[in-house]
Amino acid sequence: MEQKQLSLVKGPHRYIFRYDTGGETQIISSFADLADDKESGFDWFDAAVLSYQMGKQLDQDVERLSSSPPRE
């Protein structure tokens, strides 16, 4: 499995999320948990930004796979 990474720098905070392909649901759940925690400094806008980044990565993966020659 391929490992993916998303990161966000917000002021003095650096958020780095690493996950395996197929673990997107769990990482989005982590975004929601952090956004719900008022003391984390991570808000719903941050969750949306990282979710958007994840979607872009998935689009790139689909594009790469669709342009690959078929396996025999």
**Residue 25, both tokens:** 């649901």
Model pTM score? 0.81
Residue 27 φ/ψ, nearest 5 degrees: -70, -35
DSSP state letter for 70: P
The encoded tokens of residue 26 equal: 């769990």
Residue-wise pLDDT for 31-70, tens only, equals 999 999 999 899 999 999 999 999 999 888 888 888 867 6
pLDDT at 20 (0 to 100): 92
Query: Could you tell me the pLDDT band of residue 1, with boundaries at 50, 70 and 90?
Result: confident
The predicted structure's pLDDT at residue 71: 64
* Tokens (6 digits) for 68: 């690959």
List, in sequence order, every beta strand (DSSP E) within the chain. 3-10, 13-20
